[in-house]
Amino acid sequence: MVVTELAVVLGSLVLVLSRWLPPAARRPAALSGAAVVVCGAALALPDPRWQLLVVLAADLLVAAGLAAGWWYRRRSGRPGRRARRRLALPGTVVCLGLVATGAGAGRALPVPEFPQPSGPSAVGTTVLEWTDPDRDEPATPGTADRRTVVVQLWYPAAAGGPPAQYLGRTRREADTVAAGTAGYLGAPAFLLDGPVRAHSHAVFEAAPAAGRFPVVLFSPGLGGPRTQNTAWAEDLASRGYVVAAVDHPYDAAAVVLADGRTVRTRVSSAGDPGEDARRRAGWVSVRAADLRFVLTQLGRLDSGRLAGPFTGRLDTTRAAATGHSVGGAAAMRAAEQDTRFTAVVNLDGGPEPDQGPLRRPVLAVTHEIADRADTEYLTRLSSVLDRGTATGYRLTVPGSAHLTFTDAPLYLPPVPALVGSLGRAGSVRTTTETCAAFLDSTLRGRAADLPAALSRYGDLRVHPPATGGR
């Protein structure tokens, strides 16, 4: 909780409990608590979090009780008397419950605080929108629509500055994305009011630093926004990479285009395993094509064929296809289809049944294996890695869950089944350190004992190159 919210909680506790203090201390305590509540609320009320409103409801009940007592004394003319204990005690319990609920919800669903990037460089970010003239939009057959993607870059910057809004270019876009994501998950939008208030460490539209940097393309999880791994992207950018995260329209819960239109998801389950598998294969195929197209566009940015400040900054001969969940499957598919990708990172994504062997080094990071479905997923993944013609690494992280490898641990409740048990900072550190070690080795050729570096974070299996792969 921020300082103002904490002040309101503490002031509310003093105000509620002042009823039970000795007579000499009762009035000063109540006045002090009320003053703290009023000051804290005045600072927070221009844009209050719902958790704070729950706490303030307790203060309103206390105020209502005091007002009712004053009105009764004035009307009856009787001397003031403290409310009987059997009436005051339930009221106090209710008010304390409201304060505890608001404070607990504020702690469980915080405004995310992004860890300081570990690399030496400041980080910039910008958002680009590209339309592929060679591809029809598969979600709108029979129209003249061409496939359009929105891409956010995080890159080494020449200098720092004010931090960028999280989840979008503006607060309005962040609200739209959060509401769309909550709706996609079947949750009320107010549960994601923490992330929309957050700012990361990157500086929007900062000038790129001098140099030529490897590129890391990222595809988020099904329905996920391009920003779902911002902490990871910022950390890699601070280490000297350019990360390009892709919004996949009609897949992501909500994509806000440059002209202000919002494209909503059309992802849904049919309830039939065969049909759902067919749909997933289609989503993976579209995402893989998006990644290949974005890599082409990055090459045009580097060459100057597309105007911008990144001419000579993007080394697309050193490019990694990466993704989380279904985005990880798309990264593997893109690398199978396009030899321009020189490395692959799959963050807890199950490969498609017909995924072919990969000719590039692969890092596959998986959550802790707990049941039969997990074992089957691991078997499929291992089969793909065993057939690869380059070394593959499969790292299973103890204490992790599917969302451990995203920003989710920074703002969701610390429920192990949901975000794992590595903690907010520990989850981000595990994801960034493992990926950075792999990318430093594969894209930069830095000499290091990669198995030793990776095995510090979990159960590592190294898959040597297959001799019979293509």
Q: Decide: 436 and 239 in contact? Cβ < 8 Å.
A: yes
Q: What is the mean pLDDT of residues 153-157?
A: 98
Q: What is the pLDDT of residue 444?
A: 96
- Pairing of β 199-204 and β 163-165: antiparallel
Burial class (CB in 10 A: 0-12, 13-18, 19+), 399: middle
Q: Do 142 and 104 belong together in one domain?
A: no
Q: Do 175 and 50 belong together in one domain?
A: no
Q: What is the pLDDT of residue 98?
A: 92
Q: Who's near 73: CB < 8 A, 6+ residues apart? A: 79, 80
Whether 370 shows a pLDDT value over 90: the answer reads no
Please give the distance of CA 76 from its chain centroid, rounded to a whole number: 59
pLDDT band for 452, please (50, 70, 90 cuts): very high
Q: Can you give the CATH number for the domain in which 377 is found?
A: 3.40.50.1820
Here the tokens at position 410 are: 């920074």
Q: What is the pLDDT of residue 64?
A: 80
- Residue-level length of the chain: 470
In a domain, 469, yes or no: no
pLDDT band for 160, please (50, 70, 90 cuts): confident
pLDDT band for 3, please (50, 70, 90 cuts): confident
Q: What is the pLDDT of residue 135?
A: 97
Which amino acid belongs to residue 400?
Answer: S
pLDDT above 70 covers a percentage of the chain that reads 95
Here the tokens at position 16 are: 């509620």
pTM of the model: 0.92
Q: Do 328 and 360 belong together in one domain?
A: yes
Whether 469 shows a pLDDT value over 50: the answer reads no
**Structural domains of the chain, count:** 2
Q: What is the pLDDT of residue 70?
A: 61
In a domain, 154, yes or no: yes
Q: What is the pLDDT of residue 4?
A: 82
Q: Decide: 445 and 368 in contact? Cβ < 8 Å.
A: no
pLDDT digits (tens, 9 = 90+) for 122-134: 999 999 999 999 9
Q: In angstroms, rounded to a whole number, what is the distance separating the alpha carbons of residues 253 and 407?
A: 16
Q: Do 85 and 141 belong together in one domain?
A: no
Q: What is the pLDDT of residue 262?
A: 97
Q: What is the pLDDT of residue 191?
A: 85
pLDDT digits (tens, 9 = 90+) for 183-224: 999 888 888 999 999 999 999 999 999 999 999 999 999 999
Whether 338 shows a pLDDT value over 60: the answer reads yes
pLDDT digits (tens, 9 = 90+) for 60-118: 888 887 776 666 666 766 554 554 566 678 888 999 999 999 999 999 999 999 999 99
Q: Do 272 and 367 belong together in one domain?
A: yes
Q: Do 93 and 129 belong together in one domain?
A: no
Q: Do 47 and 140 belong together in one domain?
A: no
H or E stretch at 123: strand 122-136
Q: Do 89 and 131 belong together in one domain?
A: no
**79, 108, 137 - which closes a domain:** 108
Q: Do 312 and 172 belong together in one domain?
A: yes
In a domain, 116, yes or no: no
Q: In angstroms, rounded to a whole number, what is the distance separating the alpha carbons of residues 424 and 417?
A: 14
Q: Do 423 and 276 belong together in one domain?
A: yes
**82, 108, 134 - which closes a domain:** 108
Whether 395 shows a pLDDT value over 90: the answer reads yes
In a domain, 322, yes or no: yes
Q: What is the pLDDT of residue 470?
A: 41
Q: Do 299 and 419 belong together in one domain?
A: yes
Q: What is the pLDDT of residue 326?
A: 98
Token pair 């791994």: residue: 229
Here the tokens at position 429 are: 């550190």
Q: What is the pLDDT of residue 77?
A: 61
Least confident of 46-55, 135-144, 347-356: 46-55
**77, 108, 139 - which closes a domain:** 108
pLDDT digits (tens, 9 = 90+) for 420-444: 999 999 999 999 999 999 999 999 9
Q: In angstroms, rounded to a whole number, what is the distance separating the alpha carbons of residues 83 and 68?
A: 11
- 308 against 87, higher pLDDT: 308
Q: What is the mean pLDDT of residues 242-262?
A: 97
Domain hosting 133: range is 122-463
In a domain, 444, yes or no: yes
Q: Of 388, 392, 395, which Cα lies nearest the Cα of 348?
A: 395
In a domain, 359, yes or no: yes
- The number of CA neighbours under 13 Å toward the Cβ of 20 is 14
Q: Cβ of 469: how many Cβ atoms within 10 Å?
A: 14
Least confident of 26-35, 178-187, 348-357, 382-391: 26-35
Q: Do 60 and 135 belong together in one domain?
A: no
